[in-house]
Amino acid sequence: MNKVSKWQETEEPKLIQKDFLTLADYSKDDIMSLLYDALELKKQQKMGISHPYLSGKVLGLIFEKSSTRTRVSFEVGMLQLGGHAIFLSSRDIQLGRGETVSDTAKVLSRYVDGIMVRTFEHETVEEFAKYASIPVINGLTDLHHPTQVMADLLTILEHKGKLSGLKLCYIGDGNNNMAHSLLEGAAKVGMHINIASSEGYKPNEIIIQNAKKVGSKTGSKIMITNNPTTAIQDADVVVTDVWTSMGQEKEVQKRLQEFKDYQVNQALCENAKPDFIFLHCLPAHRGEEVTAEIIDGPHSVVFDEAENRLHAQKAILKALLGKKS
């Protein structure tokens, strides 16, 4: 059953920005308009109604980090929108042999209609956007993961019927891209967000302060703590991520020790609301950041969340690459 309430929206999402790099760049209305367009696109897809809004459009996909969900969802999304996607591994293009980001961005701007970049340093995707004359989408950097959090917000909206006023609790490595984009997204839409993390792994301070500034206008309350029990109290949504992200493999043993008290398990989740939902961007390490009884249990919506990468990104692609009025 669709729990989503009516949203007074424009006919077509109209984003102010050329690119989709961080959620901090967008207003609440921008984000909500995209989410409701994603719901409509999802409905059409489930009913078998074609929606070739991007007929003839081509998206270049640059991957410096490997992926399952990002690659497949963007490729399938472009196909369902009537367009095409080209996979560009950094090992296969001149970028991997020393060509500058600026030159690559300028060249690709002559060939394709948009670029999705999944990379390490956030400065790389910012440089792509600076020199590209076409839209650039951040598919993940070490600092931000905005497309994933759009899918998270879409999933919460579907299951809870609203976003504003809900309490989201993130437990684990606070200094990672998911925590940062969740901070930005929650603050924008008026959700309360608590982040529980070990000392030394708190979120980026600039992102925290910017989120609090936004939250003061939207009613979003933000808590950063090292106590997971306090953070999860009466939470509507519980989120975690792997303790060791790509590029941090040498820190595995250190991180296992640092975060051993931050596992999302049944005992901890007893403090959340009885009808809480559990999110994880995947891939997950069962027995580390989350137990199997939670991620595979009745509160888990991780596969709805994974599917919603497709629908949320289709809305973004449609807004950025579609016909402009």
The annotation places the binding site for L-ornithine at: 177, 241, 245-246
Separation between Cα atoms, residue 278 and residue 238, nearest integer Å: 5
Which position among 144, 145, 255, 311 bears the catalytic label? 145
Binding site, annotated residues: 67-70, 94, 118, 145-148, 177, 241, 245-246, 281-282, 309
Q: Among this protein's residues, is 118 annotated catalytic? A: yes
Which position among 19, 30, 169, 281 bears the catalytic label? 281
Binding site, annotated residues for carbamoyl phosphate: 67-70, 94, 118, 145-148, 281-282, 309
Separation between Cα atoms, residue 134 and residue 304, nearest integer Å: 31
Q: Among this protein's residues, is 241 annotated catalytic? A: yes
Which position among 113, 122, 142, 148 bears the catalytic label? 148
Q: What is the DSSP string of 146-175?
A: HHHHHHHHHHHHHHHS--TT-EEEEES-SS
Q: Among this protein's residues, is 286 annotated catalytic? A: no
Which position among 19, 30, 113, 118 bears the catalytic label? 118
The tally of CA atoms less than 13 A away on the side-chain side of residue 88 is 22
Q: Among this protein's residues, is 180 annotated catalytic? A: no
Calculate Rg over the CA atoms of the chain.
19
Backbone angles phi, psi at 55, to 5 degrees: -55, 125
Backbone angles phi, psi at 259, to 5 degrees: -105, 15
Q: Which residues are catalytic?
A: 118, 145, 148, 241, 281, 309
